[in-house]
Amino acid sequence: MKLTITPKQEKFINSDADEVLFGGAAGGGKSYGQIADAFIYALKYSGSKQLILRRTFPELERSLILTSLAIYPKEVGKYNSTAKKWSFKNGSIIEFGYCDGEKDVYNYQGAEYDTVRFDELTHFTLSQYMYLISRVRGVNNFPKQVKSTANPGGVGHSWVKNRFIDVAEPNQKYSDEYGRTRIFIPSRVEDNSFLMNSDPSYIQRLKQLPEKERKALLYGEWDIFEGQVFSEWRNNRSGYITRRNTHVIKPFEIPKDWRRFRAFDFGYAKPFAVSWFAVDHDGRAYNYRELYGCTGTPDVGVKLTAQEIALRIRKIEDKEEKGNKICGIADPAIWNSTGSSEGSIAEMMERCGVFFSKGNNERLAGKMQVHYRLAFDAEGLPMIYFFENCRNIIRTLPMLVYDSMSPEDVDTRQEDHLYDALKYFLMSSPITPRGNEMKASYNPFAEFDKGCDELCNRFIIS
Ligand SMILES: Nc1ncnc2c1ncn2[C@@H]1O[C@H](COP(=O)(O)OP(=O)(O)O)[C@@H](O)[C@H]1O
Ligand SMILES: [Mg+2]
C-alpha cells in the first residue's frame, strides 16, 4: 500500500506544535490529510489512542469515516462501525466521535487520548474545544497534540481566528505564556494536486460562489465569511474622523445635553456586558463606553456577583458621569427570582444604587433595529457609531453568524452579550426601517488614496 500526500499535507503531518490548524480553504486536502496523519501516527506509536471529531455524526460518517475505509488497509486494522473505532494490529486505536450539543463533551469524560483531531474546527465552540483538549494526556512518551482543520465561517469562526490566525504569520509557530505552541498551516485547493487533476472544474465552481463565500472558501480569507449577520459592518480607519462609511470612530467628548443610556446583560460564567450610549439631536446613537466582564479568553466570564457589577458601574459613573442623567435598560430576565433571600439581580443592583428599567428582548425585532441603525445613507452616514475604545463590541458584533436551526436569527451559542445589551438599548427607542445604500463594491482605500487630510478637513463634524 502506498499513501501519497501533498507537500502541504506533509507539513501538517510533520508539524510538532502542540496545536496545529490546517487548511483554511475548501478542497485543500484537509480531511484527507487528517485521516492520513492519524494512520501514520497509529502505525508509528504502537498502542497509541487517537480521537477524530466532527461536529455531527452524519458529517463524520460522510467524510472522515468513508475516507478511512477507503485508504486504511484491512491487513493492518479492523473497523468496528458500532464503536466507530479502528483497532490496529499494533494495539493502536483511532476513534471517531462527534459533539453536537454543548453537553456532548461529557461523553468523553474520563477518556484519555494521545492526539485529538478536529475536522472543521470552526463548527465547534471554544468551550467544547477547551474541554476536549483537556482529554489529551497519558503516561507514555508519544507526542501529545491537538490537530485540526477548518474553513473560515461558522459558530467558531471568531475564536479560531483569534487563537490561530491572528497570533502569528502562517507557518510560524506561536508560543503562549505557558510555552505551549500553535501553528496555522494554510492549504488551498491549488495545493491539492489530486483534486486539481481529478476534478479541474471544482475550482471553477468555487469561483462562481457569491463573493463572501468565494473569498472564504477559495482564498481562505478570514475577514469576510458567509453566514455573517451584520455584513453591513465597516471598520474603516480612513473614516474614523470623517465618520463616513464606517461604524467605528475616534472618541470625542459627549455634549452635556445629549441623552445618555446604560444597557446591561447579566452573565457570570459567561461575560456580563454593560454599554453606555449617547443620542445626539438627530437621533444618532454613539456607543461611547463598555464594561465587559470577560477574562481575556473570549466568552469566558469573570464571575462577578450582581453587587460587584453594580459597584463597578457606580465607580465609573461617579467619576465620569457627574451630574448626568443616565437611563438604565436591562435584560428583563434580571427581574426573575434567583431563589435567594436577596431577591432578583435587579433588586440586588438597586440596593447598590444602580437602576434599570425592563428592556424588550424580542430577538428578531432587536436584530432588525441593529440592521436599520448600521445601514449607511447615501452620504455614508449610519445611525449608530462605536467609539474605538469599545473594543469588545467591535470584535464580537461582526463575528456573529446565523443559527443553522433558525436561519433568520443569530446563533445564541456565540459571544453575543454586548449584542444583546445593544438590542435592549435600541428597542427602547426603535427607529423606522432604513435600507443600506452603501454599494457592496465600495472600496474604502480608494477614498483614503484621494487624500485623507483633505477629506478630514472637509468632513469633521463636532
Ligand atoms: N493525498 C491525497 N491523495 C489522494 N487524494 C487526495 C489527497 N488529498 C486530498 N485528496 C482528494 O482531494 C479531494 C479533496 O480533499 P479533502 O481532504 O476532502 O479536502 P478538504 O477537506 O480540504 O475540503 C478529495 O476527493 C480527496 O480524496
Ligand atoms: Mg473536509
Average pLDDT rounded to a whole number, residues 279-306: 93
The grid cell for 266 is 447579566
Q: Residue 158 — very low, low, confident or very high, per pLDDT cuts 50/70/90?
A: confident
CA distance 264 to 413: 19
Q: Mind listing the pLDDT tens digit for each residue in 295-345?
A: 877 788 999 999 999 999 999 999 999 999 999 999 999 999 988 899 999
Q: What is the CATH number of the domain that holds 300?
A: 3.30.420.280
Judge whether 362 and 227 are in contact, CB under 8 Å. Answer: no
Ligand with minimal distance to 33 CA: 1
Distance in Å, CA 68 to ligand 2 centroid: 13
Ligand with minimal distance to 34 CA: 1
Q: Which phi and psi (to 5°) does residue 179 adopt? A: 80, 5
Residues 243 and 188 both lie in one domain: no
Distance in Å, CA 166 to ligand 1 centroid: 26
**E strand or H helix at 411:** none
pLDDT score of 226 more than 80: no
pLDDT score of 456 more than 90: no
Tally the domains of the chain: 2
Place of cell 458621569: 321
Residue 452 forms part of a structural domain: yes
The residue ranges of DSSP E strands in 226-298, in sequence order, are: 248-249, 259-265, 273-279, 285-292
| pTM of the model as a whole | 0.62
Within 13 A of 290's CA, how many CA atoms are on the CB side? 26
Residues 337 and 192 both lie in one domain: no
pLDDT score of 461 more than 50: no
Residue 225 forms part of a structural domain: no
Distance in Å, CA 152 to ligand 1 centroid: 18
Residue 185 forms part of a structural domain: yes
Q: What is the pLDDT of residue 77?
A: 96
Q: Which phi and psi (to 5°) does residue 59 adopt? A: -65, -40
Residue 229 forms part of a structural domain: no
Residues 321 and 190 both lie in one domain: no
CA distance 462 to 455: 15
How many CB atoms are located within 10 Å of the residue 34 CB?
A: 27
Residue 2 forms part of a structural domain: no
Residues 332 and 429 both lie in one domain: yes
For atom 12 of ligand 1, the residue with the nearest CA is 195
Residues 357 and 213 both lie in one domain: no
Q: Please identify, among 219, 248, 267, the residue that sits at the C-terminal boundary of a domain.
A: 219
Residues 153 and 264 both lie in one domain: no
Residues 209 and 242 both lie in one domain: no
CA distances from 249 to 127, 231, 260, 436 (A): 32, 18, 18, 19
Q: Residue 225 — very low, low, confident or very high, per pLDDT cuts 50/70/90?
A: low
Q: Which atom of ligand 1 is nearest to the CA of 36?
A: 1
Judge whether 336 and 306 are in contact, CB under 8 Å. Answer: no
Residues with CB under 6 A from ligand 1: 4-6, 9, 23, 26-32, 192, 194-195
Ligand with minimal distance to 68 CA: 1
Q: Which atom of ligand 1 is nearest to the CA of 23?
A: 22
Residues 346 and 414 both lie in one domain: yes
Residue 126 forms part of a structural domain: yes
Average pLDDT rounded to a whole number, residues 115-119: 97
Residues 62 and 129 both lie in one domain: yes
DSSP state for residue 44 in the 8-state scheme: H
Q: What is the pLDDT of residue 224?
A: 66
Residue 381 forms part of a structural domain: yes
Residues 170 and 309 both lie in one domain: no
Gyration radius of the chain's alpha carbons: 25
For atom 27 of ligand 1, the residue with the nearest CA is 32
DSSP string for 342-387: T--HHHHHHHTT---EEPP--HHHHHHHHHHHH---TTS--SEEEE
Domain that holds residue 131: 7-219
Q: Which residues have CB under 8 Å from 364's CB, separation 6+?
A: 408, 409
Q: What is the CATH number of the domain that holds 181?
A: 3.40.50.300
CA distance 230 to 210: 16
Q: Which phi and psi (to 5°) does residue 305 adopt? A: -75, 170
Q: Please identify, among 219, 246, 274, the residue that sits at the C-terminal boundary of a domain.
A: 219
Residues 196 and 282 both lie in one domain: no
The grid cell for 83 is 464503536
Residue 199 forms part of a structural domain: yes
Residues 93 and 151 both lie in one domain: yes
Place of cell 468496528: 80
Q: Please identify, among 173, 192, 219, the residue that sits at the C-terminal boundary of a domain.
A: 219
